[in-house]
């Protein structure tokens, strides 16, 4: 650790022309890098989606200074219990490999999820302790199951399209979300209030995003909850949603209108 005198000497020395001066500037800049740069964010897409649906969000989170791991997993091929471990464990390893510097593990590992991706995180954390777990942001999670699955799950073709995991996202006996209990981690949830599917919305009581009601996104133990005028299908690509995700990762809360000039 440099004291004040050493720092001033380094600054004077870095003003010298040539290669040595440039090297000193590079070293000094590295020492000043915020701790946040060592944090890693794992992104998990929703049911019947791919990592491509999270690309815009991934790029924005990386630009904000985080290491990112955008996971692609076969969401319709297996039950949630069999999806969670193979999707998340390798992602944690990737966080360690991709972290800057010489640290073997990142300072913290955060999760940003869309829809069923949030249920995978809950499933995994119910079985495994992540010692350096940071914050979790869920977008449109069916944390209490979705009535859409209750009403359409028995229809011909539903299981073919959405697999066992799709059937587990209801609110009945097969519901995995309702078996996982409260959140014992730092959790922020964004719920959509707009729908592009009026037929599905008619199956949902109350305000919804076309797939999940606002109420059923909530989870006991969550730290913050925010409603936004976005749809389930496209919320992870919405610029204002992305800004809120990054704000939560950085500050542990969403940004309300009253905070617009707070200078965070």
Model pLDDT, residue 101: 57
Instruction: Give the pTM.
Output: 0.82
The CA radius of gyration of the chain, in Å to the nearest whole number, is 21
CATH 3.40.50.1820 applies to domain 37-255: yes
Q: Where are the domains of the chain?
A: 37-255
Instruction: Tell me the backbone φ, ψ of residue 262, rounded to 5 degrees.
Output: -75, -15
Positions of the chain with pLDDT under 70: 1-37, 100-105, 258-264
The per-residue pLDDT for range 91-125, each reduced to its tens digit, is 999 998 887 654 556 789 999 999 999 999 999 99
The per-residue pLDDT for range 15-34, each reduced to its tens digit, is 445 554 444 334 434 443 44
Instruction: Tell me the backbone φ, ψ of residue 193, rounded to 5 degrees.
Output: -125, 10
Q: SS3 for 111?
A: strand
**41 bridge partner residues:** 68, 110
Q: Residue 198's CB: how many other CB atoms inside 10 A?
A: 8
- Dist CA 224 CA 218 (whole Å): 9
The per-residue pLDDT for range 158-172, each reduced to its tens digit, is 999 999 999 999 999
């Amino acid at each position: 650790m440099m004291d004040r005198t050493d720092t001033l000497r380094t600054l004077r020395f870095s003003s010298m022309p040539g290669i040595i001066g440039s090297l000193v500037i590079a070293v000094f800049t590295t020492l000043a890098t915020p701790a946040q740069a060592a944090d890693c964010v794992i992104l998990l897409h929703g049911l019947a989606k791919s990592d491509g649906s999270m690309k815009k969000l991934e790029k924005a989170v990386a630009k904000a200074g985080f290491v990112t791991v955008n996971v692609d997993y076969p969401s319709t091929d297996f039950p949630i219990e069999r999806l969670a471990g193979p999707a998340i464990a390798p992602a944690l390893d990737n966080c360690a490999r991709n972290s800057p510097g010489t640290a073997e593990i990142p300072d913290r590992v955060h999760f940003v999820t869309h829809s069923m991706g949030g249920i995978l995180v809950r499933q995994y954390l119910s079985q495994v302790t992540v010692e350096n777990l940071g914050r979790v942001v869920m977008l449109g999670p069916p944390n209490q199951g979705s009535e859409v699955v209750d009403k359409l799950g028995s229809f011909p073709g539903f299981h073919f399209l959405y697999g066992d995991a799709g059937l587990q996202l209801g609110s009945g006996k097969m519901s995995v979300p309702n078996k996982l209990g409260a959140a014992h981690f730092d959790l922020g949830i964004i719920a959509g209030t707009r729908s592009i599917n009026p037929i599905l919305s008619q199956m949902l009581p109350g305000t919804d995003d076309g797939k999940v009601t606002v109420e059923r996104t909530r989870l006991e133990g969550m730290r913050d909850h925010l409603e936004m005028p976005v749809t389930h299908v496209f919320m992870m690509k919405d610029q204002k949603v992305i800004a809120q995700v990054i704000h939560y990762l950085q500050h542990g809360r969403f940004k309300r209108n009253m905070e617009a000039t707070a200078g965070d």
